[in-house]
Each structure stands twice: as C-alpha cells, then as structure tokens.
Amino acid sequence: MEKSSDLQLKEATIGAVIDSVNLGVAGNFVILSKTGITSVYKSTITGDIGTSPITGAAMVVSCTEVTGSIYSVDAAGPACKTTSATMLTSAIGDMQTAYTDAAGRSNPDFLNLGAGTIGGTTLLRGLYKWTSSVNIPTDITISGSPTDVWIFQVAGTLKMGSSVRINLVGGALAKNIFWQVAGAVTCGTTSHFEGNILGQTGINLQTGATINGRMLAQTAVTLQMNTVTKPQ
C-alpha cells in the first residue's frame, strides 16, 4: 500500500489534459440498462431512462418516479412509456462504444492510487487506472475547472461506503467525470456520487443514496428510494 506521503505527492500532481468520452445517444439518458431497471418506491429520477434489448417489462419503475421519458423496445413496461426500439438500439451501441473508449485509454497519470482505497483523497484531472477493486470508505474531493476531464478505470468492483460523499470543487462538473468499472458498482446508504458510471456489470444504489450523473449499465440498475439527477 502506498504511504500517505505518496498519496499527497500524487494529489499535488495535475494530470494531463485528456479528451472527454463521447456518450453519443446514450448521453440523452440518466439511466440506461441492457437487462432491467428496478426501483423500491419512491425514487426521484430526473432525466430519461430506458432498457434494451430486454423487454420493457424489466423496468419496474413507477411513472410518478420519473421526470422525463421512459423508453421501451416494446409495448411492455410502465403505462407512461414511449416505444422506440431503433433509438434504444443506437443508445446501447453508443454506451458500449463509450465503455470501450474509456477502458482503452492508455498511459494513466495515476496507477493504483491508494492501492484501491481512496478515501480522503483529492483527485485532480487526468486518467486514473486501478488493476484491482476500488473502495471509497470516506469522503473524497474531485477538484478542477469546468473544462477538466477525469477518467477512472476500475478493473474490479467499485464500492462507496454509507454516508460517504464525492465533493466537487473549483468548478469541476459531474458531466466531465467518467467511472469505467468492470465489476459491480455499489453506493452505500445515504451516500452521494458524482459522475457518469459506465458499468460492465450491475449498478446498485442502496437506500437513500443520491447521484448527480448517469448510470449506463451493461446489466441491471437497482434503486431503493434514491435521487438520480442527470448532470448539467
């Protein structure tokens, strides 16, 4: 494990200017999933949601939970849904392209920071890579300007502790933060997350957790009385 002095040195080093990840049509969504979206009532979702290729019946979400549109590939799903299979196919394709792009970025500015445990750190712009899982047991800060970009490559799971927060300072924007995660993502009870999650596996928000960002999952998204807001 890296010493605290090593972490401080890394925190003081500004990463390279990197290009953003193009989300394409997937960027129109706050939640997009290939295998389903479920919510324990009542969650508050601001933005469009959708599933593809699975049937709309896999969206177990009430219309009153969503301020935005609910898109389905077929006639199944919530009563307020819009059927748009072609658009959803494009969105899913763009989601997978974005995941591949983020995962394929090379020459990271920060490699295995904190040996995967990053609580208490300040993360400056740049490309971060972990060859392990990542644990966020205490608050972290993402610091930078409104034009800075962060890409976090996580080979394992990403777990955020209960009541833990990601804080943005200096003008940093959630829309410019990309978490590419191969394993499951879990945000603990009443935690707060910032950024776009590009998940190869499930994305799970536990009771009362909030996110300012997108959940773009190649499997399922599960909610439990959460607040989900598309970043501006």
Token pair of 37 as six digits: 């979206």
Residue 178: which of 98, 232, 113 has the closest Cα? 98
CA distances from 3 to 115, 126, 133 (A): 10, 21, 19
pLDDT at 50: 98
Q: Show pLDDT as tens, one digit a residue, over the chain (232 residues).
A: 444 434 444 444 788 899 999 999 999 999 999 999 999 999 999 999 999 999 999 999 999 999 999 999 999 999 999 999 999 999 999 999 999 999 999 999 999 999 999 999 999 999 999 999 999 999 999 999 999 999 999 999 999 999 999 999 999 999 999 999 999 999 999 999 999 999 999 999 999 999 999 999 999 999 999 999 999 9
Alpha helices in the chain, H assignment, sequence order = 4-11, 85-104
* pTM for this model (two decimals): 0.94
Cβ partners under 8 Å of residue 104, min gap 6: none
pLDDT at 5: 37
- d(C-alpha 168, C-alpha 165), whole Å: 10
Which stretch of DSSP H or E encloses residue 38?
strand 36-40
